[in-house]
Amino acid sequence: MNKLILALIMLPMPALGQTLEECQQAAEKNYPLIQQYGLIEKTTELTVANIQKGWLPQVSVQAQATYQNKVVAWPDEMRPMMSGMGINMEGLKKDQYRVGIDVQQTIYDGGVMGSQKRIAREQGKVQEAQNEVNIYNVRKRVNEMYFGLLLIDEKIKLNTDLQTLLEGNERELESMTERGTAAESDLQSVKAERLNAVQKGIELESQKQMLLRMLSTFCGLEVKEVSKPLATAEDGGLMAENRRPELRALDAQIGVLNAQEKALNAALMPKIGAFAQGYYGYPSLNMFEDMMRHQWSWNGIVGARLTWNIGALYTRKNDKAKLQLQRDLTENNRDVFLFNNNLDQIRQRENIERYRKLMAQDGEIISLRQAVRKAAESKLTHGIIDVNDLVREINQEHAACVQQSVHEIEMLKEIYDNKYTTNN
């Protein structure tokens, strides 16, 4: 059995052009989405830098003008006493003005900004992972075009062999016609069959050029020829470890949820900060003086502040439950992906084995068809069969050769599709 498998392994072919790996790498680099890696990284860096600026003093400028129906004033009972002392205590004016600046400096935020930076970085990883998934899908499109080209190349070679074979029989029939041992219609029949093969060759060449242009555009380089990949004896064995980028994207989503859960803890911590307030206006902080002198003045306050908002406790339990549900949903998406991916691997491995079994018979079928075709050529020479029987045997031999090439290319495609399925 091992000898049979080794006999089915395709022999190396000289590289006439780009390999499949070269085309895949070129296509990934040429695909416009590749530029998003740098854009995502810069966006994440800017987001983190903006969060970091939360440690800088927060400065706000404000101006206000108010009019109020009541103001601070001395009680009416005290005014005569004040007047007797020569003090004119009019009270504050009802129109008040202030232009000021407010400076807030965070000293301890309980880890809020650190949590925000972790979340931003994890979200950047999610975007990069999803971009990697989109770029990875380019490989499948390259595979389709690449193996389509390989199959067309094989058909073109076999079509050329068919034309050569028909030309040989056509020359033989020309000689027989001249000797009077064959009818003119026999010669015309073979000639018509050869012209059909020529037309088919033109169609195949046109399809090849179209695929070459498409692949060249996709890869961003001129692809003139493609070389057949090599299959190994290990291909088609047990399922390989799954390294698909979709799994890394799911891991990145879990990372965001973990960072968000840590942020819930930071929301419960107290915050400490320093502040400074200054303003120019009326009334000042010394209202007693302003009750006697109605003039604008400079005023300032500095201090420290402790705040502890325990409102996050009210929703903490539900917030954690929501994050766990999202985590469970992400894990379920992972299970669904792996389940479908495993089904794809099973199908591909079975197809590889099926093509190997079919290829075990292809060589013998071609040998038998070749022997029958040669016998038919001999019988035609001796007048035992007509030319239609010969044409039928030639076509059947050609179909057997095409079938062998289809089995070989399809098996190669399944092998590399399996590599795509597992990213190995």
DSSP per residue over 52-70, as a string? HGGGS-EEEEEEEEEE-S-
Question: In residues, how long is the chain?
Answer: 424
Sequence-distant (6+) residues with CB within 8 A of 401 are 158, 161, 366
User: Is 71 contained in some domain?
Assistant: no
- Span 366-378, pLDDT tens digits: 999 999 999 998 8
Select from 309, 270, 272, 276 the least CA-distant residue to 104: 276
The answer to whether position 190 is within a domain reads yes
Nearest-angstrom CA–CA distance, 52 and 59: 16
Cα-based distances in Å from 402 to 18, 153, 156, 159, 162: 24, 11, 10, 9, 11
CB 291 within 8 A of CB 82: no
Does some domain include residue 125?
yes
The confidence band for 8, taking pLDDT boundaries of 50, 70 and 90, is very low
User: CA 197 from chain center: how many Å?
Assistant: 43
Number of domains in the chain: 1
Q: Is residue 285 part of a domain?
A: no
How far is residue 333 from each of residues 149, 246, 326, measured CA to CA in Å?
36, 10, 11
**Phi, psi (rounded to 5 degrees) for 241:** -65, 135
Residue 278 has pLDDT above 80, yes or no: yes
Q: What's the rounded Cα separation, in Å, for the pair 152 and 159?
A: 10
Q: Is 336 helix (H, G, I), strand (E, B) or coil?
A: helix
DSSP reduced 3-state for 268: coil
Report the predicted TM-score, pTM, of the whole model to 2 decimal places. Answer: 0.81
Question: Do residues 227 and 17 make contact, with C-beta atoms less than 8 angstroms apart?
Answer: yes
> How far apart, in whole angstroms, are the C-alpha atoms of residue 297 and residue 287?
11
Q: Would you call the peptide bond into 12 cis, given omega within 30 degrees of 0 as the criterion?
A: no
**What tokens does 112 get?**
């809020």
What whole-number distance in Å separates Cα of residue 392 and Cα of residue 377?
11
More confident residue, 42 or 1: 42
Residue 232 pLDDT grade (very low, low, confident, very high; cuts 50, 70, 90):
low
% of the chain at pLDDT higher than 70 = 91
pLDDT of 216 strictly over 60: yes
Read off the tokens for 67.
């009019």
In a domain, 115, yes or no: yes
Q: Identify whether 40 is part of a domain.
A: yes
Mean pLDDT, the chain, rounded, equals 88
Residue 294 domain-assigned (yes or no)? no
Q: Which domain holds residue 133?
A: 2-56+109-270+308-422
| pLDDT tens digit sequence for 333-349 | 999 999 999 999 999 99
Torsions phi, psi for 421 (to 5 deg): -65, -35
For residue 180, pLDDT over 70 is answered with: yes
Contact by Cβ (8 Å): 100, 24: no
Q: CATH number of the domain at 176, please.
A: 1.20.1600.10
Q: Within a domain: residue 204?
A: yes
